[in-house]
Amino acid sequence: MPRSDFWSGLVVAGFGLLALIWMIPNYAGSNPFAQMPPGLVPSIAAWIMIVCGGIVALKGLVKLIVSGISPLTTEINWSAIGWALWPFLFVAVAIWFMNFIKITWFGAILIGLMLFLLGERRWWLILGCSVVPPVLLYFLSVYMMRIGVV
Amino acid sequence: MKHTFAAVFGATMLIAPMALADSWQPERPMTMVIGFAPGGSTDIQGRVLARTLEEHFGQPVNVVNQPGGGGAVALTRFLNADPDGHTFMFGVMLGLTFSPIVTETEYDIDDFRYAGTLVGGQFGVVARGDAPYQSFEELVAHGKETPMTYAQQLPMDQAIMELIADQEGIDLAIVPTGGGGGMAPLLLGGEVDFAFSGGTHAQYTPTGEMNVLAFLTRERSPFYPDVPTLVELGYPYAMDDFRSFFLPGGTPDEIVQAFEDAARFAVEHEPFVEVTVENTLHPIVFMDAEETEATIRDIRTANEALMAN
Amino acid sequence: MDFSAVGAAAAEALTLASFIGIGGGVLLGYVVGVVPGLSRSVAISIAIPLTFYMSPYIAISFLIGLSKGTAAGSAVSAILLNAPGEASSAATALDGYPLAKQGKPKTALQVGLIASVMGDILATIILIFVAIPFARVALMFGPYEMAAILAFALVFIAGLSSGNVFKGLAAGGLGIFLGTIGLDNQTGLPRLTFGYTELMDGMPLIAVAIGTLALSEMFIQSEKLRYDRANMSVRLENRADDHITMPIFKRILPTIFRGTGIGTFVGALPGLGPSVGSFMSYGMAQKAAKQPELFGKGEPKGIAASESADNAVIPAALIPLFGLGIPGNVSAALLIGAFAIHGITVGPLLLRDNPELLYSIFAGMILASLIMLVLGWYGLMVFAQITRVPPHVVIPIVIFFCLAGMMLQGYGTFGLIILMAFALLGYLMKKYDYSFVTFLVAFIITPMLELNLRQSIILSRGNWEILLNRPIALFFIVCTLIALIALIIRTFQTDKAAAGAPVSE
């Protein structure tokens, strides 16, 4: 997969570069008296990412050129990407909802809806699987940990 | 469990109408926030305190741990708590007297109300029991001749030691430790000459493995009546911390009053006193609401002056 | 050793109440450990209020049993679901899950259980007879030695990643970078926290571990559902050959002994923790094996190495606790709290003032291991049935428990967002073959390594000759250099091999 090597290496090296020129100077703080200033270890880490990510990207690029593949492609399988992406979006939206509704109450909907989306249609199974875990959580948080409903 | 509740309920039925006839009473289970992970000394004291409060208020008190940043995370989240007295915090003052100085916090002292102090801290300077110096004066004398090493835990104790080292002409190298757990191996293993202790020493002084040379607090510790404070030794620096009830900003006075009464009840209550003094080796220090807030502001001013150096 | 005290201790250890207390602890820990997302710290926060009502001996044994139970339980989800509950079980999943997929889930679980229990009992025996009198040896490991050991662990484990070496190193670099977030231990000022108070103690390890290990795996599996629904689940076929046999046991026995040794060493040094132990042990087993290429493809030795070390760390962490009063890791630090609730100060004096209690605790620990063996043996028959549940039912439930586990820790919505970010990161790393093992180990080791390096530099006042008086530190520095050279050589070899081979990826 030279194409994904190229792009992923580029992203890693890019993150390292971003860390080196923006995050570390602005947010690492300074300590002029220290032999190991606060920015030293993060900078080493950033350099590792730049060098190693760069090598991965470069090797990917060489392979791309040798085998004559373009780094960009128009044959993107959108439905595959969508299928990989929707669980993330689903959980992200669920987390947003948890700002307002506690996970103990919201949990049943979270599990039930996702089960439905994953293709389960037997209502008794959806009901059982979505109700039992939140009940366990309620028991755990309220009676065993005594921290109230989470 | 069931009969404990029944007993508590029965007891409060008897006392409540008489003693607390016109003061504020909780209507449902209460939540006590602790800004540290389970198992630390604040957590242990807090959990025993929760049971003491159940007895006092007649409502169950649930303990919630919100660890992080020496209490700063819990304080940040506490900003959103309802000021109805059902959510309160058993907190250390460091999150208010120190964190806002070194970092931008979303909260400040004015965002909360303070309803009574129960427990005192005991910050000290410790050395190994078999060290060639048994008091702070001897340490200073020793340090004038040989270079020394010191293990810090907070920027404030580091600042104090740097000032003293400058004043006395000691060649002092200061090592970070990352907390009390990291200090003990360094000191006992002989890697450093002396160290800051936020209370860790309590475990080691009975065996003679560690010696408290001086306290950084304003007053001497009741457990070590012979150990002087830095101020007594002629260094005008102090570092204090107390554990108190914090309430959300805008809490009505009558609720603050109720918690002050609860604090007064707790410092007399046998199980809480026993666990604090005998098991976690902290002194019981009671302050009322007004004094607590004044102390927090005092310490903050002192810390700001210290960190400005 | 005072034998009347031992006798009295054994007598107390065998009362019905203690049996129930310890058994309850092991069971609770095991169940919590099996559920991905609920980790040891959840189990301990459940347990601490319960211990108020117990006698000191039962309370402590209950907590130790709980730790042991979670260590053994988290292997179950690692093996069956590839979703380890703890970072220290991540190494177990590397071989456990492939072996389970090959139709031998019971073998994998049994190997894991036997390795856990043996590592446990052997380390407990070392704790009782050897270590406490010699606990002071741990004090010989000062900042120089710790820095050298941590550097060695980092380089050694970085060399483990099976895939592309540069990708592994890049992942390690990211782990180091994220590991530096939090308060700078020297100045006490925030570093790379971007103004978030929640990050002052660093990225919460629980969020990183659950996110990259368990939650990301659920997203990978839900993606696979589309293509491979029929072959996804681990089949439980009641095959006659699906159980541990004498030849397998004999084959893994040396690995268990080695793993126990490594786990005991790591546990006895304050601060290192079980993840370092289990990965070191896994790496050593791979290096020592005659056929290292079998590792990662369902080699029982891999499971045995990881699990024996993971469990050996728990009793070994009590060596500095009982010998010196210094907790070996977070769980041991929690035990100090539990002791304090009962008015007992832990340390060398415990042996002098309260030997009955100490011997009772030892007896309780061995009892806990035996209960775990019985419970685990029958429990795995039940848990193996998880494999009958189709994956599309498992996925939403595991996701729910991962989110709930985070909420139970009191991190709030911010914790959930971090959890999701690491789940995404873990997903991308697994998908594009960046070693998440290197990432996680670098993340865990970096803060400790940096602290010890700083201490060494300050204490030595820049004088390198001080190392000549530190033979242990020198030894590990040499080991680090050897591991580093081996890593570089391997890098060039794989490069040549890749250049020689046609583009097959």
Render pLDDT for C280-304 as a digit per residue (tens, 0 to 9): 999 999 988 888 888 888 999 999 9
Interacting residues of B33 by C-beta distance below 8 A, sequence separation 6+? B64, B66, B74, B77, B78, B81, B87, B88, B89, B90, B91
Examine residue A72 and state whether it is found in any structural domain, yes or no: no
Examine residue B276 and state whether it is found in any structural domain, yes or no: yes
Q: From residue C490, give the alpha-carbon distance in Å to each of A4, C480, C487.
A: 23, 15, 5
- In chain B, what residues touch A148 (CB-CB under 8 Å)? 29, 31, 62, 64
Examine residue B281 and state whether it is found in any structural domain, yes or no: yes
Q: Does the pLDDT of residue C257 top 90, yes or no?
A: yes
Size of interface B-C (CB pairs under 8 A): 152
Examine residue B251 and state whether it is found in any structural domain, yes or no: yes
Q: Same domain for A31 and A89? A: no
Q: Does the pLDDT of residue C80 top 70, yes or no?
A: yes
For residues B204 and C325, the answer to whether their CB atoms sit within 8 Å is yes
| Interchain CB contact of B4 with A (< 8 Å) | no
Number of neighbouring beta carbons within 10 Å of residue C441? 30
Mean pLDDT check: name the lowest of B36-40, C235-239, C382-386.
C235-239
Examine residue A137 and state whether it is found in any structural domain, yes or no: yes
Rounded to the nearest angstrom, the minimum Cα separation between B218 and chain C is 23
Q: Same domain for B272 and B208? A: no
- Per-residue pLDDT, C55: 78
Examine residue B189 and state whether it is found in any structural domain, yes or no: yes
Burial C263-302 (b: 16+ CB within 10 A, else e): bbbbbbbbbbbbbbbbbbbbbbbbeebeeeeebbebbbbb
What's the mean per-residue pLDDT of chain B? 85
Q: Do A148 and B62 make contact, defined as CB atoms within 8 angstroms?
A: yes
Q: Same domain for B245 and B283? A: yes
Q: Do B176 and C342 make contact, defined as CB atoms within 8 angstroms?
A: no
Q: Do B176 and C185 make contact, defined as CB atoms within 8 angstroms?
A: yes
Instruction: Locate C454 and state its tokens.
Output: 């700083």
Sheet holding B61-65: strands in order across? B61-65, B30-34, B87-92, B242-248, B112-120, B284-287
Q: Does the pLDDT of residue A36 top 90, yes or no?
A: no
Q: Same domain for A37 and A9? A: yes
> What does the pLDDT look like over B248-271, one tens digit per residue?
998 999 999 999 999 999 999 988
Residue B248 phi/psi, 5° resolution? -60, 150
Q: Are strands B194-197 and B30-34 parallel, antiparallel or unpaired?
A: unpaired
Give mean pLDDT, residues C480-488. Answer: 89
How far apart are alpha carbons C227 and C225 in whole angstroms? 6
How far apart are alpha carbons C44 and C34 in whole angstroms? 15
How far apart are alpha carbons B111 and B83 in whole angstroms? 11
- In chain C, what residues touch B104 (CB-CB under 8 Å)? 195
Q: Do C186 and A38 make contact, defined as CB atoms within 8 angstroms?
A: yes
Write the DSSP string, A79-93. HHHHHHHHHHHHHHH
Q: How large a percentage of chain B has pLDDT more than 90?
A: 45
- CATH number, position B96: 3.40.190.150
Q: Does the pLDDT of residue B9 top 50, yes or no?
A: no
List the single residue in C with minimal CA-CA distance to A1. C505
- In chain A, what residues touch B60 (CB-CB under 8 Å)? 146
- Per-residue pLDDT, C495: 62
- Give the bridge partners for C190, in sequence order: C183
- In chain A, what residues touch C174 (CB-CB under 8 Å)? 12, 15, 45, 49
- Per-residue pLDDT, B172: 93
- In chain A, what residues touch C410 (CB-CB under 8 Å)? 147
At residue A45, the 3 state secondary structure works out as helix
Q: Does the pLDDT of residue B21 top 70, yes or no?
A: no
C144: closest CA among C465, C450, C467? C467
How far apart are alpha carbons C479 and C474 in whole angstroms? 9
Give mean pLDDT, residues C132-152. Answer: 85
Helices (H), chain A: 2-18, 24-27, 40-66, 78-97, 103-117, 123-138
- First vs last C-alpha separation in chain A: 44
Q: How large a percentage of chain C has pLDDT more than 90?
A: 35
Examine residue A71 and state whether it is found in any structural domain, yes or no: no
- Per-residue pLDDT, B265: 93
Give mean pLDDT, residues A43-70. Answer: 92
Examine residue C505 and state whether it is found in any structural domain, yes or no: no
- CATH number, position B131: 3.40.190.10
Which pLDDT band holds residue B19 (cuts at 50, 70, 90)?
Answer: very low
Helices (H), B192-288: 253-266, 270-274
Q: Do A23 and C450 make contact, defined as CB atoms within 8 angstroms?
A: no
Q: From residue C77, give the alpha-carbon distance in Å to each of B118, C226, C256, C259, C494.
A: 45, 23, 21, 21, 33
Q: From residue C459, give the alpha-carbon distance in Å to each of A41, B38, B182, C144, C445.
A: 19, 33, 15, 9, 21
B206: closest CA among B135, B284, B281? B281
Examine residue A149 and state whether it is found in any structural domain, yes or no: no
Examine residue A21 and state whether it is found in any structural domain, yes or no: yes
How far apart are alpha carbons C449 and C444 in whole angstroms? 9
- Per-residue pLDDT, B128: 93
> What does the pLDDT look like over A6-21, one tens digit per residue?
999 999 999 999 999 9
Residues in chain A: 150
| Interchain CB contact of B63 with A (< 8 Å) | yes
Q: Are strands B148-152 and B172-176 parallel, antiparallel or unpaired?
A: parallel
- Per-residue pLDDT, C502: 42
B120: closest CA among B230, B223, B239, B240? B240
Q: Is B281 left (phi over 0), alpha (psi -120 to 50) or beta?
A: left
Give mean pLDDT, residues C107-128. Answer: 92
At residue C177, the 3 state secondary structure works out as helix
> What does the pLDDT look like over B81-114, one tens digit per residue?
889 999 999 999 988 998 888 777 889 999 999 9
- Per-residue pLDDT, A132: 93
At residue B173, the 3 state secondary structure works out as strand
Q: Does the pLDDT of residue C100 top 80, yes or no?
A: yes
- Which candidate in B200, B279, B281, B306 is best for mutational testing of the C interface (most C CBs within 10 A)? B279
Q: Same domain for B13 and B66? A: yes
Instruction: Locate A124 and state its tokens.
Output: 């008794």
- In chain B, what residues touch C353 (CB-CB under 8 Å)? none
- In chain C, what residues touch A38 (CB-CB under 8 Å)? 180, 184, 186-187, 189, 191
- Per-residue pLDDT, A140: 87
Stretch (H or E) spanning B235:
none
Which pLDDT band holds residue C57 (cuts at 50, 70, 90)?
Answer: confident
For helices C56-81 and C300-316, angle between their N-to-C axes, nearest 10 degrees: 160
Q: Does the pLDDT of residue C58 top 90, yes or no?
A: no
List the single residue in C with minimal CA-CA distance to B36. C410
Q: Same domain for B109 and B140? A: no
- Per-residue pLDDT, C234: 61
- In chain C, what residues touch A137 (CB-CB under 8 Å)? 401, 404
Interacting residues of C150 by C-beta distance below 8 A, sequence separation 6+? C272, C445, C448, C449, C452
Q: Which of A66, A91, A117 is at the close of a domain?
A: A66
Q: How large a percentage of chain C has pLDDT more than 70?
A: 91
Which pLDDT band holds residue C307 (cuts at 50, 70, 90)?
Answer: very high
Q: Does the pLDDT of residue C498 top 70, yes or no?
A: no
Burial C26-50 (b: 16+ CB within 10 A, else e): bbbbbbbbbbbbbbbbbbbbbbbbb
Examine residue B51 and state whether it is found in any structural domain, yes or no: yes
- Per-residue pLDDT, B104: 79
Q: Does the pLDDT of residue C225 top 70, yes or no?
A: yes
Q: Same domain for B117 and B128? A: no
Mean pLDDT check: name the lowest of A142-146, B267-271, C447-451.
A142-146
Rounded to the nearest angstrom, the minimum Cα separation between A50 and chain B is 30
Rounded to the nearest angstrom, the minimum Cα separation between C460 and chain B is 9
> What does the pLDDT look like over C153-194, one tens digit per residue?
998 888 776 677 889 899 999 999 999 998 887 777 889 988
What's the mean per-residue pLDDT of chain A? 89
Q: Same domain for B190 and B41? A: no
- Per-residue pLDDT, C42: 79
Instruction: Locate C385 and state its tokens.
Output: 């049935």
Give mean pLDDT, residues C32-40. Answer: 85
B217: closest CA among B97, B124, B116? B124
Examine residue B230 and state whether it is found in any structural domain, yes or no: no
Q: Same domain for A85 and A59? A: no
Which 8-state DSSP code applies to residue C86?
S
- In chain B, what residues touch C348 (CB-CB under 8 Å)? 207
Domain count along chain A: 2
Give mean pLDDT, residues C337-344. Answer: 73
Number of neighbouring beta carbons within 10 Å of residue C454? 23
Which pLDDT band holds residue B144 (cuts at 50, 70, 90)?
Answer: very high
Residue predicted with more confidence, C491 or C77? C77
List the single residue in C with minimal CA-CA distance to A43. C177
Please determine, for the modelled complex, whether the ipTM score is greater than 0.85.
yes
Which 8-state DSSP code applies to residue B240?
-
12-51 in B: which are within 8 Å (CB) of A? Answer: 29, 31
For residues C68 and C109, the answer to whether their CB atoms sit within 8 Å is no
Q: Does the pLDDT of residue C92 top 60, yes or no?
A: yes
For helices A2-18 and C165-179, angle between their N-to-C axes, nearest 10 degrees: 30
- Which candidate in C144, C197, C457 is best for mutational testing of the B interface (most B CBs within 10 A)? C197
- In chain B, what residues touch A146 (CB-CB under 8 Å)? 60, 62-63
Examine residue A6 and state whether it is found in any structural domain, yes or no: yes
Interacting residues of C461 by C-beta distance below 8 A, sequence separation 6+? B147, B173
Q: From residue B97, give the alpha-carbon distance in Å to each of A78, B92, B109, B156, B300.
A: 55, 9, 8, 11, 4
Structural domain boundaries, residue B160: 124-215
List the single residue in C with minimal CA-CA distance to B38. C45
Which pLDDT band holds residue B151 (cuts at 50, 70, 90)?
Answer: very high
- Give the bridge partners for B210, in sequence order: B128
- Per-residue pLDDT, C235: 62
- Which candidate in C145, C200, C460 is best for mutational testing of the B interface (most B CBs within 10 A)? C200
Q: Same domain for A91 and A45? A: no
How far apart are alpha carbons B280 and B194 in whole angstroms? 23
> What does the pLDDT look like over B171-187, one tens digit per residue?
999 998 876 677 888 89
- Per-residue pLDDT, C230: 67
- Per-residue pLDDT, C494: 67
Give mean pLDDT, residues B6-19. Answer: 42
Number of neighbouring beta carbons within 10 Å of residue C222? 23
Structural domain boundaries, residue C335: 3-499
- Per-residue pLDDT, B10: 40
Structural domain boundaries, residue A22: 2-66
Q: Do C503 and A42 make contact, defined as CB atoms within 8 angstroms?
A: no
At residue C253, the 3 state secondary structure works out as helix
Domain count along chain B: 2
Examine residue B13 and state whether it is found in any structural domain, yes or no: yes
Mean pLDDT check: name the lowest of A113-127, C62-76, C225-239.
C225-239
Instruction: Locate C362 and state its tokens.
Output: 């030892």
Q: Does the pLDDT of residue B4 top 50, yes or no?
A: no
| Interchain CB contact of C200 with B (< 8 Å) | yes
Examine residue C504 and state whether it is found in any structural domain, yes or no: no
Q: Which residue has the tokens 């590991």?
A: C179
- Per-residue pLDDT, B22: 59
307-366 in C: which are within 8 Å (CB) of B? Answer: 320, 324-327, 333-338, 340-343, 345-349
Q: Do A12 and C184 make contact, defined as CB atoms within 8 angstroms?
A: no
- Per-residue pLDDT, C199: 87
Total-model pTM: 0.88
Give mean pLDDT, residues C47-66. Answer: 79
Give mean pLDDT, residues C208-217. Answer: 92
Examine residue A150 and state whether it is found in any structural domain, yes or no: no
Which of the other chains make 3 or more beta carbon contacts under 8 angstroms with chain B? A, C
At residue A145, the 3 state secondary structure works out as coil
Instruction: Locate C111 and state its tokens.
Output: 């190997």
Residues C489/C492/C497/C503 CA torsion (nearest 10 deg): 150
- Per-residue pLDDT, A43: 95
Angle of CA points B261, B263, B266, to nearest 5° = 110
How far apart are alpha carbons B221 and C81 in whole angstroms? 54
C118: closest CA among C372, C384, C383, C382? C372
Give mean pLDDT, residues C197-207. Answer: 85
Domain count along chain C: 1
- Give the bridge partners for B212, in sequence order: B126
Q: Do C143 and B186 make contact, defined as CB atoms within 8 angstroms?
A: yes
Q: Do C397 and A111 make contact, defined as CB atoms within 8 angstroms?
A: yes
Which pLDDT band holds residue C356 (cuts at 50, 70, 90)?
Answer: confident
- Give the bridge partners for B214, in sequence order: B125
Instruction: Locate B26 and state its tokens.
Output: 């909780």
Q: Same domain for B166 and B206? A: yes
For residues C116 and C311, the answer to whether their CB atoms sit within 8 Å is yes
Q: Which of A16, A46, A66 is at the close of a domain?
A: A66
Q: Does the pLDDT of residue B34 top 50, yes or no?
A: yes
Q: Does the pLDDT of residue B70 top 80, yes or no?
A: no
Q: Same domain for B86 and B63? A: yes
- In chain C, what residues touch B182 (CB-CB under 8 Å)? 271, 451
- Per-residue pLDDT, C321: 83
